[in-house]
Amino acid sequence: MIKKTRIMTPGPTPVPVDVLLEGAKETIAHRTPEFKKMLKTASENLKKVFRTDGHVFILSSSGTGALEAAVANTVSPGDKVITIVGGKFGERWAELGQAYGANMVKIEVEWGDLAEPAQVEKVLRENPDTKVVFSTLSETSTGVVYDIKGIAEVVKKTDAILVVDAVSGLIAEPLEMSEWGVDIAVAGSQKAFMMPPGLAFVAVQTEKAWKRIEETSSPRYYFDLRAYKKKHPDTPYTGAVNLVYQLNKALEMIEEEGMENIWKRHALFAEAMRNGVKEIGLELLPKKPGNVLTAVKIPEGVDGAEFLKVAREKYGMYFSGGQGKLTGKIFRASNLGYVDRLDMISAMAVIEMVLSDLGKKVPIGAGVKVVEETLLKG
Give me the residues that bind ligand PLP (CB under 6 A), please.
10-11, 62-64, 89, 136, 138, 140, 165, 167-168, 188
Which residues make beta-bridge pairs with 6? Answer: 317
Helix 341-357 and helix 366-377, axial crossing angle in degrees, nearest 10: 170
Q: How many CA atoms lie within 13 A of 221 on its CB side?
A: 0
**Measured from the CB of residue 168, what is the shortest distance to ligand PLP in angstroms?**
3
Task: Compare residues 147 and 372 and give the one whose CB is closer to ligand PLP.
Answer: 147
Which residue lies nearest ligand PLP, judged by its C-beta?
63
Any residues with CB less than 8 A from the CB of 40 and at least 6 apart, and which? Answer: 233
**Measured from the CB of residue 110, what is the shortest distance to ligand PLP in angstroms?**
17
**Measured from the CB of residue 125, what is the shortest distance to ligand PLP in angstroms?**
27
Contact predicate 43/229, CB 8 Å? no
Q: Is 365 left (phi over 0), alpha (psi -120 to 50) or beta?
A: left
Task: Compare residues 167 and 339 and give the one whose CB is closer to ligand PLP.
Answer: 167
Task: Compare residues 66 and 273 and give the one whose CB is closer to ligand PLP.
Answer: 66
Task: Compare residues 92 and 360 and give the one whose CB is closer to ligand PLP.
Answer: 92
Instruction: Return the number of other C-beta atoms located less than 10 Å from residue 322's C-beta.
Output: 21
- Is beta strand 132-136 parallel, antiparallel or unpaired with respect to 161-165? parallel
3-class DSSP state of 262: helix
Contact predicate 362/355, CB 8 Å? yes
Task: Compare residues 166 and 298 and give the one whose CB is closer to ligand PLP.
Answer: 166
**Measured from the CB of residue 200, what is the shortest distance to ligand PLP in angstroms?**
7
Burial category of 34 from C-beta neighbours within 10 Å (exposed 0-12, middle 13-18, buried 19 and up): exposed
Burial category of 259 from C-beta neighbours within 10 Å (exposed 0-12, middle 13-18, buried 19 and up): middle
Task: Compare residues 52 and 140 and give the one whose CB is closer to ligand PLP.
Answer: 140
**Measured from the CB of residue 308, what is the shortest distance to ligand PLP in angstroms?**
18
Task: Compare residues 337 and 367 and give the one whose CB is closer to ligand PLP.
Answer: 337
Give residue 6's identity as a one-letter amino acid code: R
- Name which of 366, 269, 295, 336 is nearest 88 in CA terms: 295
How far apart, in Å, do the first and last CA atoms of the chain sit? 34
Task: Compare residues 62 and 158 and give the one whose CB is closer to ligand PLP.
Answer: 62
